Amino acid sequence: MLHRCLAVAVVLVGMCPGGIGAAPLVAWDLSGSPGDAPSVAATFQAPGLAGLSMTRGPGLVPSAAGNSFSASGWDDLGAGDYIQFGFDVTSGPPIDLDTLTFATRSSGTGPGFINVNLSIDGGAFFTLTTLTQGNGTFLNSVLNLGQTVTSSLVIQLRAANNQDASPPGLIASGGTFRVAEFLNGSTFIDVTISGLRQENPTAVPEPATLALFGLGVAGVGLAVRRRRG
């Protein structure tokens, strides 16, 4: 879980989500989740953010799988076949996204390739990357998001094609795909989006402020000359 990760961050450098200066923005704790819950609410959100619940599209069927969020029904590649999550910005400056830390798993007849699609500030979805899923094995991923968000981020996970996780087969109606927590050694890390708030990204000093700044600099210069004299 995220809190356990933060507790050992001093000892295990690089183990927790986020690069230099980045911090967790939103997280979803999947420990104890049965897999077939209707949704999973965000369990951590930084100030000024509202985490979006992890949900399934209407074309998928919930499937039981411990400590995860799981679904079947990926075989028709329908418009409603996706798992999604993200956040809204409720206050504060824009955010420079850093990483998405999570794990995924497909059954043998589940999707073999998953597109990670992003929608920034209500824009059209685009594919960030495509994950290659093994047959019944967990894939731990730390993805570089590299985007700036002003109002919202939505992440959708969709089957990239009809190939299953045990080629050359095709996805079956009962084939499953799940989202789970990242495992680093013996430590589980919540599904986490990390990033960094921009600091006054568009702030421009007013003329009066610039004039006062100039007087201040001049005063410092006189003081230095007096001390040197």
Question: Residue 21: what pLDDT?
Answer: 77
Question: Residue 20: what pLDDT?
Answer: 65
Question: Residue 12: what pLDDT?
Answer: 28
- Does residue 132 contact residue 91 with C-beta atoms inside 8 Å? no
Question: Residue 19: what pLDDT?
Answer: 61
The CA distance from 160 to 173, in Å, is 16
**What's the mean per-residue pLDDT of the chain?**
85
Q: Can you give the CATH number for the domain in which 96 is found? A: 2.60.120.430
Strand partners, 26: 45, 193
Read off the pLDDT of residues 33-92 as tens digits, 9 standing for 90 and up.
Answer: 999 999 999 999 999 999 999 999 999 999 999 999 999 999 999 999 999 999 999 999
pTM attached to this predicted model: 0.80
Question: Residue 199: what pLDDT?
Answer: 82
Read off the pLDDT of residues 108-157 as tens digits, 9 standing for 90 and up.
Answer: 999 999 999 999 999 999 999 999 999 999 999 999 999 999 999 999 99
The CA distance from 169 to 163, in Å, is 6
Number of domains in the chain: 1
For residue 218, pLDDT beyond 50: no
- Token pair, residue 69, equals 């969020």
Q: Which domain holds residue 14?
A: 2-228
- Token pair, residue 144, equals 């570089």
Q: At 18, is the pLDDT very low, low, confident or very high (cuts 50, 70, 90)?
A: low
